[in-house]
């Protein structure tokens, strides 16, 4: 599986994760991220 | 409950399915060890969370479901929610998948162990028929339908559900499990009617293939050839009809011959009876005649014996006066003995001859009657 590019480097990963989590909160999306930064979906 | 399991045989894995199951099972299982159910995992329709799977993502979901041999989960007592990832909640596993008509189907095996049997019963009785997929997406493959950017990126201002906006799942990176739930996000996800879905679809495919082949063959045959074949068939039909008529006639003739034979047999029996009636009385009369003749001969024989006995007595009475002398006493006895001896000899000589003559006559008569 391809690792998300953004998550390969710790600094960028943290920044991206934070950004993503902020968007999720802002848009009230019913999704969660795991420790690798993947979106966990339960449909 | 037992009668409800009679139909389970249709859900046991076939040879190919069993091979797939056993290829990764700790020990080889028998068909009777469990049942196979087809699960409607996901489709390409917009779900309750405004997500839509793209075809490639569904294919990847299928591949990963088999690769990961994903478990079928059912949350137990004390679990806070569905999709509760605990090994005790595992009720089955996926061993194959199929993409058909924009639907991803899982093929799952449910072992019929003592602890799992109640779950299988509840599934088959329709209590647990809904389910939900659990998987992972890279954020870059979770796309807004309005701007085609990742929905979680700062550049995308859209929210799913607003103004018809939805999210597209272009790819998946992992597939974790499939959980039996009460209300899934994908309304059709779950365990559908098995007989109709599995068997009928496979049968439909075969019928359709046969129809296509037949149509192709029909198209290959030119019209002129078809007409010629029809004419030939018509001629053959006429010949066949004529043969049948002949056969029918022969059958009628055979019937007459049979009836005649029966009649002849009856006549023969009557003739035999008549002849018996004619011959038997004659033979009887002739036999009675012989008997009478034998009786007469015997009577004559008795007369002869009587006359001989009389003669013998007469001779004895003539010899009696010489009893005074001792010497003369003995001589008459000798003479009487000799007379008696000669009488017995004569009797033995005459009677057998007489018997012989009677027997010869009787035999002659009898053989004449027979001849």
Residue B87: alpha-carbon gap to chain centroid: 48
Using beta carbons and an 8 Å cutoff, which residues of B are at the interface with A? 42, 47, 49, 51, 82-83, 132-140, 142, 151-154, 156, 159-160, 169, 173-174, 179, 184-186, 189
Which residue of B139, B161, B174 to mutate against A (max A Cβ within 10 Å)? B139
**pLDDT of B360:** 73
Residues of A in contact with B151 (CB under 8 A): 23, 27, 29
Cβ separation A43–B51 shorter than 8 A = yes
Of B8-17, B226-235, B346-355, the one with minimum mean pLDDT is: B346-355
> Residues B160-202: pLDDT tens digits?
999 999 999 999 999 999 999 999 999 999 999 885 434 334 5
Residues of B in contact with A31 (CB under 8 A): 152
Residues of A in contact with B152 (CB under 8 A): 20, 23-24, 29, 31, 39
Res B25 pLDDT > 70: yes
Residues of B in contact with A19 (CB under 8 A): 153-154
**pLDDT of B56:** 96
Two structure tokens written together for B351: 């009677």
Residues of A in contact with B153 (CB under 8 A): 19-20, 23
Tell me what ipTM this predicted complex has: 0.73
Which residue of B152, B168, B188 to mutate against A (max A Cβ within 10 Å)? B152
Sheet order of strands, B167-169 included: B51-53, B167-169, B142-144
Residues of A in contact with B49 (CB under 8 A): 30, 43
Question: Please, what is the average pLDDT of chain B?
Answer: 81
Cβ separation A41–B136 shorter than 8 A = yes
Q: What is the C-alpha to C-alpha distance for residues B13 and B31, in angstroms, rounded to an integer?
A: 6
**pLDDT of B40:** 95
Residues of B in contact with A30 (CB under 8 A): 49
Q: Are the beta carbons of B102 and B44 closer than 8 angstroms?
A: yes
* Residue that wins the pLDDT comparison between B8 and A25: A25
Which residue of B42, B138, B161 to mutate against A (max A Cβ within 10 Å)? B138
Cβ separation A4–B154 shorter than 8 A = no
Q: What is the C-alpha to C-alpha distance for residues B216 and B230, in angstroms, rounded to an integer?
A: 20
> Residues B252-304: pLDDT tens digits?
666 666 667 777 778 878 888 887 777 776 767 778 887 888 888 888 888 88
Note whether A17 contacts B: Cβ–Cβ < 8 A: no
> Residues B67-76: pLDDT tens digits?
999 999 998 8
Q: What is the C-alpha to C-alpha distance for residues B119 and B112, in angstroms, rounded to an integer?
A: 9
- Of B125, B99, B95, the C-alpha closest to B110 is B95
Res A40 pLDDT > 90: yes
Nearest CB neighbour to B138, from listed A4, A24, A28 = A4
Cβ separation B139–A28 shorter than 8 A = no
Q: What is the C-alpha to C-alpha distance for residues B181 and B175, in angstroms, rounded to an integer?
A: 17
pLDDT class of B51 with cuts at 50, 70, 90: very high
Q: CB pairs below 8 Å between A and B: how many?
A: 71
| Strand ranges inside chain B, DSSP E | 34-43, 51-53, 71-73, 90-100, 103-111, 131-137, 142-144, 167-169, 174-180
Nearest CB neighbour to B132, from listed A24, A31, A42 = A42
**pLDDT of B253:** 67
Residue B318: alpha-carbon gap to chain centroid: 107
Note whether A19 contacts B: Cβ–Cβ < 8 A: yes
Beta bridge partners of B143: B150, B168
Distance from CA of B133 to the nearest CA of A (A): 5
Residues of A in contact with B51 (CB under 8 A): 41, 43
> Residues A2-25: pLDDT tens digits?
555 554 454 455 677 888 999 999
């Amino acid at each position: 599986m391809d690792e998300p590019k953004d998550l390969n480097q710790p600094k960028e990963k943290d920044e991206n994760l934070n950004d993503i989590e902020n968007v999720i909160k802002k848009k009230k999306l019913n999704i969660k991220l795991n420790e690798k930064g993947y979106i966990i979906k339960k449909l | 409950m037992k009668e409800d399991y009679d139909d389970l045989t249709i859900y046991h894995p076939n040879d190919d399915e069993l091979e797939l199951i056993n290829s990764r099972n700790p020990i080889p299982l028998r068909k009777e060890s469990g049942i196979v159910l087809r699960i409607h995992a996901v489709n390409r329709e917009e779900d309750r969370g405004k997500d839509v799977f793209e075809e490639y993502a569904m294919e990847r979901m299928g591949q990963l479901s088999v690769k990961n041999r994903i478990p079928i989960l059912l949350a137990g007592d004390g679990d806070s929610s569905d999709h509760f990832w605990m090994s005790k909640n595992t009720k089955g596993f996926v061993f194959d998948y199929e993409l058909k008509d924009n639907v991803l189907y899982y093929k799952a095996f449910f072992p019929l162990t003592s602890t799992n049997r109640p779950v299988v019963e509840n599934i088959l009785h329709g209590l647990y028929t809904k389910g939900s997929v659990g998987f992972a997406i890279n954020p870059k493959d979770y796309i807004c339908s309005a701007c085609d950017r990742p929905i979680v990126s700062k550049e995308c201002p859209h929210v799913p559900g607003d103004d018809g906006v939805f999210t597209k799942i272009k790819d998946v990176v992992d597939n974790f499990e499939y959980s039996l739930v009460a209300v899934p996000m994908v309304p059709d996800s779950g365990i559908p009617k098995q007989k109709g879905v599995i068997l009928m679809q496979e049968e439909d495919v075969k019928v359709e293939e046969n129809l296509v082949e037949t149509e192709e063959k029909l198209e290959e045959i030119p019209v002129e050839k078809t007409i010629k074949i029809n004419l030939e068939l018509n001629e053959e039909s006429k010949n066949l009809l004529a043969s049948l008529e002949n056969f029918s006639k022969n059958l009628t003739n055979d019937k007459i011959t049979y009836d005649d034979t029966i009649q002849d047999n009856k006549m023969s029996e009557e003739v035999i009876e008549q002849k018996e009636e004619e011959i038997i009385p004659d033979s009887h009369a002739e036999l009675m005649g012989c008997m009478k003749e034998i009786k007469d001969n015997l009577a004559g024989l008795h007369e002869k014996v009587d006359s001989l006995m009389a003669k013998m007595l007469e001779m004895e009475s003539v010899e009696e006066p010489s009893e005074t002398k001792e010497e003369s006493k003995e001589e008459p006895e000798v003479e009487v003995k000799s007379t008696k001896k000669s009488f017995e000899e004569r009797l033995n000589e005459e009677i057998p001859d007489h018997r012989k003559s009677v027997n010869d006559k009787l035999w002659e008569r009898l053989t004449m009657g027979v001849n």
